[in-house]
Amino acid sequence: MNERTAILIGCGTMGKRHRSRFEENGVRFTETLDMDAAEILKQEKWTRPDFAVVASPASTHYEYARFFLERRIPVLVEKPLAVSADQARELVKLAQENETLLFVAQSECYNPIFLNFRKHLLVDLKKAASGPAPLKVKLEFRREHGYSPRCRDVDVALDLLVHDVSLFLNLFDARDVVMVDDGRGCACGDRIRMSLKVVSGEFAGVEAEFMADRDSEHDARTISAEFGRNGDDPGFDYSVSLVHYTSSGDVAHIPDSLDNEHRFFLKLLAGACGEWGNRALLNAANAVILATGEASAIKG
């Protein structure tokens, strides 16, 4: 296999992680740019790479992703894809028109814990949906941690909420989902709540509540499922934590999440799994659209 080359934009925590993992997969970074990235890119003196990694502050994701897509250079961009619904839609359209890979790095979607939860939840949902009564299922997504100076260029919706909306869209088709409450009425600084509902399709009736807090006394990343009684079937519930904790209570990084994400991206770059890649992009764009309070998702 020929060596792949890449440009990295952003040398913060996620930029360093992406570089390290890609280098382990044989990728060579020809440029590593940070605060001076915009000026250097404009000079067009850099060597064209096989792909670009954008891990700069969230407010600049749209600008850099558009720059590379316009030049038909595949892009892996950290979440969120953009900071507005219009920007997200524009980038999806540009990627499709230029037939250029646009991939949003949301490693939680590739977290082995979530993937296992997803497998079992969908089995339980299919069983419940086959019962005589309408589906009565409630999901709760909670994501909270203490104050951090990172990612302060965007609000809590685009910093934290977008993670769980993306997980939800990995469970259900965006075409079947409507917003019940955009949470803006109860948003308070670093806290927000939102509600979505599946109104059509196989799992019509599933409701989901989201709570995100980035100035909390607790650290939690959980998904809970509550199944109401359906005909003769008893109700039941369960919950899963998406993170492991050390003995001191600190969050233990799950390397498999990023590894799985990178392997999938490299497969897409090689031309495999195209339909899955398109769905992943639409999910990431729709996560931005819904998290920013818009009810009109990209149907795809």
Q: Where does the pLDDT of residue 256 fall: very low under 50, low under 70, confident under 90, or very high at 90 and above?
A: confident
| pLDDT higher at 116 or 38 | 116
Give the tens place of pLDDT for each residue, 173-225.
999 999 987 665 555 578 999 999 999 999 999 999 999 999 888 888 999 99
Q: Which helix (H) or strand (E) holds 31?
A: strand 27-33
Spatial contact of 197 and 127, defined as CB atoms under 8 Å apart = no
Q: What pLDDT does residue 186 have?
A: 52
Residue 130 has a pLDDT of: 85
pLDDT of residue 143: 95
At 188 the pLDDT is 59
3-state secondary structure of 258: helix
Q: Angle 251-157-115 (CA atoms, 0-180°, nearest 5)?
A: 50
Task: Provide mean pLDDT across the span 102-131.
Answer: 93
How far is the CA of 38 from the CAs of 17, 101, 155, 167, 198, in angstroms?
A: 21, 21, 23, 32, 41
pLDDT above 70 for 232: no
Domains belonging to the chain, first-starting first, are 4-105 (3.40.50.720), 108-291 (3.30.360.10)
What's the rounded Cα separation, in Å, for the pair 54 and 259? Answer: 17
- Sequence-ordered list of residues with C-beta below 8 angstroms from that of 246, at least 6 positions apart, any chain: 252
At 45-66, the pLDDT tens digits run 889 999 999 999 999 999 999 9
- pTM to 2 decimal places: 0.91
